[in-house]
Structure 1
């Protein structure tokens, strides 16, 4: 297929188990000749084109071409309502391959699992069989993506949420997760080690669940307690998530962290707002859309787009690399 050639030409991609203390699988991705990186971020999308998923995909293709993107990040809930049934589930192609067809989107997709993915065959999404079907697809529970100037730390956040282990109305695929406390402890240890060892200018953590959110689900208390202290200690720049079906930018009031929600890939929750707006909430949009990130050595720019591809909110962050010397 044509996109396979583009993939091989545009991406230097290899996987190996990290040789440091951290056990996160590690992947490398090349950057542009000038060292810059352009990315699209989308979450909560897999509905076989419905709920404006196809319209969002069209605009992603347009913006992706304009920015000459290097890869796409999915923040989870990749297939609704209950994940995939198995590696041969036609929903994979119906919700992914057949929807994101623009030339600019024929790049690597790095994905994490969401809670809806765990309601199906979660292991199927991790299978190399899906990469045989569509080489763009790469999904792991937790992993590290090294893109030179920036490092992305993908974290499997669903097992952190207590309610998923007690709610009677849904069944979750907890294979390879139990015993839960051991699994979570391992993730936190590996995340802390990977962040501590990182020499990247930009540190970006990606998970499905929000740490801070003004939307329907609100803050994830388990992440506030267990993960956020690690992110603060190691000077993480951005935490990116889905879960709430909206677009959102919240600034930390006691650290440099910017909380960025991109969970509006298909079905959105109009008017479903939790809590009172405060000074930390810089932007909230309750319709469909996606996000872009452009990263250079000392500057990063985040833009949120709606279903028509119109820019809704822009965040620029600069770093003085000499300030820490």
Structure 2
């Protein structure tokens, strides 16, 4: 009887510990503008030590960031190529980030998720507070919630969803520490995301991941996310899903429902591939480098896409109506 009690207590402790590890961390970014608005830049697939026009994109981000007086930057993953960071002293952190995004307007917090190329390196290095001590802008987590006034961003670690990375035909090595067993990791993540979205009372609910759900880019839609993540987004009436992975700029969406936005043009692009997608839903497909901005108020969010020269490629606005 006594042995049974000990085992029961250990089981409860293990269940609690495994659940507590998967709870989404909540971060808060204060709203400082008098009208309560937010201005944000979104970029992905960038970390190439300035190469493949990364420096030119960074320059334009700085100019637009100054014009908009941005509050922070969101990175949608693949932060360091080709194989993430080796450790938290890897010089690629400075040569691909600190020494590239030098414009005064970009000296704001960068909230980042991991991409598949980041998982090919040392994941704990990118998550390390050592990097934040080197450059206080850097904030990277696997999955977390960012609260800013009337908007909540839900950052999702999408790489462990993709089955082919666990049997990669190209024989890449992935850092799965603190992810395995995969099924439990994903189950806990989806449970916590669903719960956080359901409890959210934010006016705007935006979800950020690396892999695409709807995309005409080379990689195509990620079936595992369509099967497991999309139903949660739809059930919780998410406004926008933002991703990278495909090295292009995209806007796919119907008049009602989730808008699917790709901002993966931070460096290497021009793949020359466009996959079939419903032409009624494809609002923008730009096979090149660039980034995106968001201007968020309580009643409207304006999205603008820029190319590598700072030209506006596409813009649209989502509106909210409130009952009296």
Whether the TM-score (by the shorter chain) exceeds 0.5 is yes
**Contact kept in structure 2, 1:38 and 1:71, CA below 8 Å:** yes
1:76 aligns with 2:82: no
TM-score by length of 1: 0.91
Q: Does structure 2 retain, via aligned residues, the 8 Å contact 1:299–1:316? A: yes
C-alpha distance in 1 between matches for 2:270 and 2:179: 30
Q: Partner of 2:316 in structure 1? A: 315
Structure 1, residues 102-159: CA drift from partner, whole Å, max 9, x if none?
Answer: 0000000000000000001011000000001100000000000000100000000000
Alpha-carbon distance between aligned partners in 2 of 1:250 and 1:163, rounded to the nearest angstrom: 25
The corresponding residue for 1:154 is: 155
SS in 1 for 2:111: strand
- Structure 2 alignment gaps of length 5 or more: 1-19
Counterpart of 1:257 in structure 2 is: 258
Q: Secondary structure at the match of 1:115?
A: coil
Q: CA deviation at 1:210?
A: 0.6
| Residue aligning to 2:15 | none
Q: Secondary structure at the match of 1:170?
A: coil
Residue matched to 1:15: none
**By how many angstroms is 1:276 displaced?**
4.7
Q: 1:21–1:190: 8 Å Cα contact kept in structure 2?
A: no
How big is the alpha-carbon RMSD for the aligned residues of Structure 1 and Structure 2? Answer: 1.4
Match of 1:58 in 2: 59
Q: Which runs of 5+ in 1 are unaligned?
A: 1-19
Structure 2 residue aligned with 1:238: 240
CA contact (8 A) 1:21 1:193 kept: no
- Structure 1 match to 2:92: 91
Structure with a larger share of its residues in helix: 2
Task: For residues 31-86 of structure 1, give each alpha carbon's deviation from its aligned partner in whole angstroms, at most 9, with x where no partner exists.
Answer: 12211000000000000000000000000000000000000000000000000011
Instruction: Name the counterpart of 2:168.
Output: 167
- Aligned equivalents of 1:302, 1:139: Cα separation in 2: 24
2:154 alignment partner, SS class: strand
Report the number of matched residues: 303
CA drift of 1:21 comes to 12
Provide the C-alpha distance between the structure 2 equivalents of 1:158 and 1:22, rounded to a whole number of angstroms.
16
**8 Å CA contact 2:215, 2:277 repeated in 1:** no
Q: Which residue of 1 aligns with 2:182?
A: 180
CA deviation vs aligned residue, 1:152-176 (integer Å, no higher than 9, x gap): 0000000000100001420100000
TM-score between both structures, scaled by the size of structure 2:
0.91
Question: What secondary structure, in the 3-state scheme, does the structure 2 residue paired with 1:58 have?
Answer: helix
Instruction: Quote the Cα distance in structure 2 between the aligned partners of 1:244 and 1:29.
Output: 28
Q: How does 1:162-311 map to 2 (within 5 A)?
A: 162-168=163-169, 169-252=171-254, 255-276=256-277, 278-311=279-312
Larger Rg computed on CA atoms: 2
